[in-house]
Amino acid sequence: MKRMSRRHMVGTVAGAALALAIAQPAFAAWPDDKPIEVVVGYAAGGGTDVMARKLFQSVQKRLGDKAKIVVINKPGAAGEIASAYLTRSAPDGYTIGVVNLPPFVVVPMIKKAQYSVDDVRFVARVVDDPTVLVVRTDSRFKSLGDLLAALREKPGTIALGHNGTGTNSHLAIRLLAEAAKVAPNEVPYKGTAAQKTDVLGGHLDVGLISVGEVPELHGGATGDMRVLAQLSDTRSPALPGVPTARESGVAVVMSSERGVAVPKGVPDAIVQKLEAAIAESVRDPEFIAASPGDAPVLAYLPGAQWQASLAKSMDALRKLADSLPK
């Protein structure tokens, strides 16, 4: 082997040091030198959007006085548009995504998606939000049993809304249809806000949304909508008077996990700072008080634990995805 000269060795070490010195300031400056984009794949006013805006107000304070975070909405295709944007962004910590499970995982299982689950790194789970069925207060459906009976009597005539293929609400409809042997008319929406508007306007018979998206009904409160059933193992503390589907004889459970992810390759130091800021935020009484919808469904997990939890459910999600029309 040819021995490297002292001059050559010094030059090589100096070159490596210079490259490191050039790279380090770019990461060391995070998050101070430009705004951070937080990408939300659903329309403004829905549970994901509201959570993102409240959460990142708190996160911004914890990242320092110079940090600036901007939430942008890229709705459509069950979050695929936003997910593709996230995964194609530079891994520099200046683009962050709020991701929803199951759709983030299910969409690539049922189509040739514009992204792969492997293209991101999970930072933290924030909520685990059970799915609920809602109707207008004056609806003829007083219970899940009433709805299922009507669906059996007139298949395909009752409209159930969801937030896009592969979302928790869409999968919940498919599970209900299979378990109860019924055929609803499935109507896709770009977000929860649009579903609620159509339910209240009498244009949609039943909306499928999440516990955290009906804060106006928490704690037994009444309003212009009613919750027929919640698709959880046990009753949410926010809706103690609403039976689970299991209590109504249909063993269907479905929730929406919402959290934060970044493009794969973001430096560990940035991920750790972001994860710590999120963990502090979800425990902050000020954030909890400002988030009445999410407070009952907060379910923080660090990124590694969320990833491990997801790995355990992949087989069940794939089986469910395989049952969907392609």
Closest CA to 116 of 125, 124, 105: 105
Give per-residue pLDDT as tens, 57-115.
999 999 999 999 999 999 988 899 999 999 999 999 999 999 999 999 999 999 999 99
Q: How many helices (H) and strands (E) does the chain have?
A: 10, 10
Neighbours of 253 (CB within 10 A): 16
Neighbours of 188 (CB within 10 A): 15
Give per-residue pLDDT as tens, 236-262.
999 999 999 999 999 999 999 999 999
- Look-up of token digits 């199951």: 102
The Cα-based distances of 211 to 112, 130, 321 in angstroms read: 31, 6, 24
**Span 166-191, average pLDDT:** 95
Res. 142: pLDDT tops 50: yes
Angle of the 144-153 helix axis to the 168-180 helix axis, nearest 10:
70
Q: How far apart are CA 240 and CA 237, in angstroms?
A: 5
- Both structure tokens of 3: 């021995």
Closest CA to 168 of 205, 133, 136: 133
What value does the mean pLDDT of the chain take? 91
pTM (2 d.p.): 0.85
Instruction: Give 295's strand partners.
Output: none
How confident is the model at residue 28, as a pLDDT? 66
**Span 134-152, average pLDDT:** 97
Closest CA to 81 of 114, 33, 106: 114
Contact by Cβ (8 Å): 229, 243: yes
How confident is the model at residue 78, as a pLDDT? 87
Contact by Cβ (8 Å): 97, 84: no
Percent residues over pLDDT 70 in the chain: 91
Res. 267: pLDDT tops 50: yes
120: confidence class by pLDDT, cuts 50, 70, 90: very high
How confident is the model at residue 17, as a pLDDT? 39
Amino acid letter at 311?
A: A
> In this structure, what DSSP letter does residue 88 have?
T
How confident is the model at residue 125, as a pLDDT? 98
18: confidence class by pLDDT, cuts 50, 70, 90: very low
Angle of the 168-180 helix axis to the 303-322 helix axis, nearest 10:
40
Give per-residue pLDDT as tens, 271-298.
999 999 999 999 999 999 999 999 999 9
Q: How many angstroms from the chain centroid is the CA of residue 279?
A: 17
What is the C-alpha R_g of the chain? Answer: 23
Domains of the chain with CATH codes:
29-128+256-322 (3.40.190.150), 130-255 (3.40.190.10)
Q: How many angstroms from the chain centroid is the CA of residue 174?
A: 19
- Look-up of token digits 């040819």: 2
Res. 264: pLDDT tops 90: yes
Closest CA to 42 of 71, 72, 75, 70: 75
- Look-up of token digits 């698709």: 231
How confident is the model at residue 323, as a pLDDT? 86
How confident is the model at residue 326, as a pLDDT? 66
How confident is the model at residue 162, as a pLDDT? 97
**What 3-state DSSP class applies to 260?**
strand
